[in-house]
Structure 1
Amino acid sequence: MPQLALDGVLRRRADAGPLVLVAGTGHARSIVAANAAAREAGLRVGQRLSAAQALLAQFEALPYQPERVDQWHRFLAAVAYRYSAEVSLLPHAIVLEVSRSLNLFGSWPRLESLLRADLDALGFRHRISAAPTPHAAHVLAGVADGQAVLTDEQLRHALQRIPLAQSRLPAAAAEALPGMGIRTLGQLLALPRDGLRRRFGAELLLALDRLTGAAPAGLEAYRPPDRFDLRIELTHEVEAIGALVFPLRRMTSDLSAYLAGRDGGVQRFTLQLEHREGHTEVKVGLLAPEREAGMLFELARARLEQVQLPQPVIAMRLLARDLPAFVPAGRDLFDERPANALPIEQLRERLRARLGDRAVHQLGSTTDPRPELAQKVTAHDDGWQEPSPRPTWLFERPIPLRGAAPRILAGPERLETGWWDGGEVCRDYYVVETAQGQRGWAFCAPGERDGWMLHGWFA
Structure 2
Amino acid sequence: MRWLCILFPQLALDAVLRSREDADAPLALLSGPPQRRVLQAVNESARAHGLRSGQSLTHARMLLERFDTVEHDPAQIEHWQQFLASWAYGFSGHVSLDFPRTLLLEVASSLRLFGPWPELEQRLRAELQALGFQHRLVLAPNPLAARVLTNVADGLAVDEQTLQAELQRLPVARSGLPGVLVESLQRMGLRRLQQVLELPRDGLAKRFPPQLLAHLDQLQGHHPLALSCYQPPDRFRQRIEFNFDVESNSSLLFPLRRLISDLATFLAGRDCGVQRFALLLEHRRQPASEVPVGLLGAERDPERLFELARGRLERIELAAPVQALTLLAEDLPRFVPAAAELFSNRPQQSQSWLQVCERLRARLGDKVVQPLAAVDEHRPERSWLAQERGDAAARPPGPRPGWLLAEPELLNDLFPRVLAGPERIESGWWDGEDVRRDYYLIETRDGRRAWAFHAAGRPGPFWVHGWFA
Q: TM-score range by the shorter chain?
A: 0.7 to 0.9
**Is 1:285 paired with 2:294?**
yes
**Is 1:418 paired with 2:445?**
no
**Is 1:138 paired with 2:151?**
no
Aligned pairs (5 A) from 1:29-428:
29-89=37-97, 90-149=99-158, 151-282=159-290, 283-365=292-374, 376-381=384-389, 383-385=391-393, 390=399, 393-394=402-403, 396=405, 415-418=422-425, 423-425=436-438
CA contact (8 A) 1:270 1:319 kept: yes
Q: Distance in 2 between matches of 1:351 and 1:426?
A: 33
The C-alpha deviation readout for 1:35-64, integer Å capped at 9, x for no partner, is 111111111122222221111111122222
Moved more, 170-179 or 97-106: 170-179
Q: Distance in 1 between matches of 2:318 and 2:107?
A: 47
Structure 2 residue identity aligned to 1:352: R
Q: Distance in 2 between matches of 1:177 and 1:392?
A: 87
CA contact (8 A) 1:264 1:323 kept: yes
Q: TM-score, normalised by structure 1?
A: 0.85
Aligned pairs (5 A) from 1:428-443:
none
Q: Distance in 2 between matches of 1:395 and 1:357?
A: 20
Shift in alpha-carbon separation, 1:413–1:15, aligned structure 2, 3 A: same
CA contact (8 A) 2:148 2:175 kept: yes
**Is 1:9 paired with 2:16?**
yes
Shift in alpha-carbon separation, 1:363–1:27, aligned structure 2, 3 A: closer
Moved more, 390-399 or 55-64: 390-399
Moved more, 35-44 or 299-308: 299-308
CA contact (8 A) 1:365 1:374 kept: no
Structure 2 residue identity aligned to 1:93: T
Structure 2 residue identity aligned to 1:10: L
Structure 1 residue 369: deviation in Å?
7.3
Structure 1 residue 198: deviation in Å?
2.2
Q: Distance in 1 between matches of 2:71 and 2:376?
A: 66
Shift in alpha-carbon separation, 1:347–1:135, aligned structure 2, 3 A: farther
Unaligned runs of at least 5 residues, structure 1: 406-411, 444-453
Bigger RCO of structures 1 and 2 (CA < 8 A, at least 6 apart): 2
Q: Distance in 2 between matches of 1:197 and 1:439?
A: 97
Shift in alpha-carbon separation, 1:101–1:387, aligned structure 2, 3 A: farther
CA contact (8 A) 1:21 1:34 kept: yes
Match of 1:349, SS? helix
Structure 2 residue identity aligned to 1:97: E
Q: Distance in 1 between matches of 2:324 and 2:79?
A: 16
CA contact (8 A) 1:19 1:37 kept: yes
The C-alpha deviation readout for 1:401-430, integer Å capped at 9, x for no partner, is 9xxx9xxxxxx8654423677754375x69
Structure 1 residue 142: deviation in Å?
2.3
Shift in alpha-carbon separation, 1:415–1:194, aligned structure 2, 3 A: farther
Aligned twin of 1:450: none
CA contact (8 A) 2:372 2:386 kept: yes
Runs (4+) of structure 1 exceeding 6 A deviation are 397-401, 419-422, 438-443
Structure 2 residue identity aligned to 1:425: D
Q: Distance in 1 between matches of 2:47 and 2:55?
A: 11
CA contact (8 A) 1:27 1:50 kept: no
Structure 1 residue 312: deviation in Å?
1.3
Q: Distance in 2 between matches of 1:382 and 1:14?
A: 36
The C-alpha deviation readout for 1:308-344, integer Å capped at 9, x for no partner, is 2222111122222222222222223333222122233
Q: Distance in 2 between matches of 1:192 and 1:29?
A: 48
Q: Distance in 2 between matches of 1:373 and 1:76?
A: 52
Match of 2:276, SS? strand
Structure 1 residue identity aligned to 2:94: E
Q: Distance in 2 between matches of 1:400 and 1:338?
A: 44
Q: Distance in 1 between matches of 2:363 and 2:287?
A: 23
Moved more, 193-202 or 64-73: 193-202
Q: Distance in 1 between matches of 2:72 and 2:390?
A: 49
Structure 2 residue identity aligned to 1:346: Q
Count residues with an aligned counterpart.
441
Match of 2:45, SS? helix
Q: Distance in 1 between matches of 2:347 and 2:221?
A: 53
Structure 2 residue identity aligned to 1:284: V
Shift in alpha-carbon separation, 1:343–1:154, aligned structure 2, 3 A: farther
Structure 1 residue 27: deviation in Å?
4.9
Shift in alpha-carbon separation, 1:240–1:424, aligned structure 2, 3 A: closer
Aligned twin of 2:3: none
The C-alpha deviation readout for 1:135-177, integer Å capped at 9, x for no partner, is 211122221221111x211211221212222222222222222
Q: Distance in 2 between matches of 1:112 and 1:164?
A: 28
Structure 2 residue identity aligned to 1:233: E
Match of 2:76, SS? helix
Match of 1:268, SS? strand
Shift in alpha-carbon separation, 1:45–1:375, aligned structure 2, 3 A: same
Structure 1 residue 206: deviation in Å?
1.6
